[in-house]
Amino acid sequence: MFWTRLLSSIILLASIIVLGIAGGLPLLLGVAVISIVGLFELYRVLDMHRSGLAVLCYILAAIYEAMIYTSGLTLIGAYIFLSMIAVLVLYVFAYPRYRAPEIMGAYFGLIYVVFMLSFVFLVRVLPGGQHLIWLIFISAWGSDTLAYCSGMLFGKHKLAPELSPKKSIEGAVGGVLGAALLGAVYALIFRGELGIFAQPVPALAILCGVGGAISMVGDLAASAIKRNYNIKDYGDLIPGHGGVLDRFDSIIITAPMVFFLIMFLQMLG
């Protein structure tokens, strides 16, 4: 199991590095595939993955990916409104085939998986995005790794025992501080490429620290859904890791947080 997990991690990381460097259409297609597979996994948990409602949402997800490639953030507000209208139209004219919890789950999936993950691409298309995109993964996966190490060494007090008995408060603190340190080191290495920040080192330390903290919420939120439905993993697509949502659960919430923190820190100067 260890070697399977390690090999999967290497392949996954290499793929992300290639797509992150390439940017543009290759990255968008990668994000789109991950999003739609993740949406399928979530809908399978909700027992609606092959329904007409799910098919509509897969189509809406594909439309959204095409839209952000051509228009960026410009039409996101319109998309959020019109996609809800599309789901409600199906609800009304197919009634009583679908019940309210299915409609709410379908729309939640679009926002939670597709919309949130799209910020990986949206960060990449920002000025300097070829360097900014890695802050998402430093915040999420960097903090996760350092939280694990800190928890193993110092963990005594449970963070969320009902959701994840192995996670500790000490581990969480170590993860946040570790992510902040990684952000500062990254800023020192690429200071010349991060001119959008007046003070790159403290800016990235704050950004990655906050991103690391919010990534833990994303991880625990995904665990809460699994607990509610009594499942261990969302899938088995990634050997040793589970499904797409099992590996990208923290990225889902971290990517938009990093995007808006970049905007905020730029405004501060």
pLDDT tens digits for 88-144? Answer: 999 999 999 999 999 999 999 999 999 999 999 999 999 999 999 999 999 999 999
Say which amino acid occupies 260: F
Residue with tokens 């998986």: 113
Task: Phi first, then psi: give them for residue 266, nearest 5 degrees.
Answer: -65, -40
pLDDT at 56: 98
Q: CB-side exposure of 256: number of CA atoms within 13 Å?
A: 13
Angle at 237 between CA 11 and CA 111, to 5 degrees: 100
pLDDT tens digits for 168-207? Answer: 999 999 999 999 999 999 999 998 888 889 899 999 999 9
pLDDT at 236: 86
Q: Taking each helix axis from N to C terminus, what angle separates 76-93 and 100-109, rounded to the nearest 10 degrees?
A: 160
Q: CB-side exposure of 137: number of CA atoms within 13 Å?
A: 16
Strand partners, 207: none
* pLDDT of 268 strictly over 90: no
Confidence of residue 162 (pLDDT cuts 50, 70, 90): confident
Q: CB-side exposure of 199: number of CA atoms within 13 Å?
A: 8
Predicted TM-score (pTM) of this structure: 0.94
* pLDDT of 267 strictly over 90: no
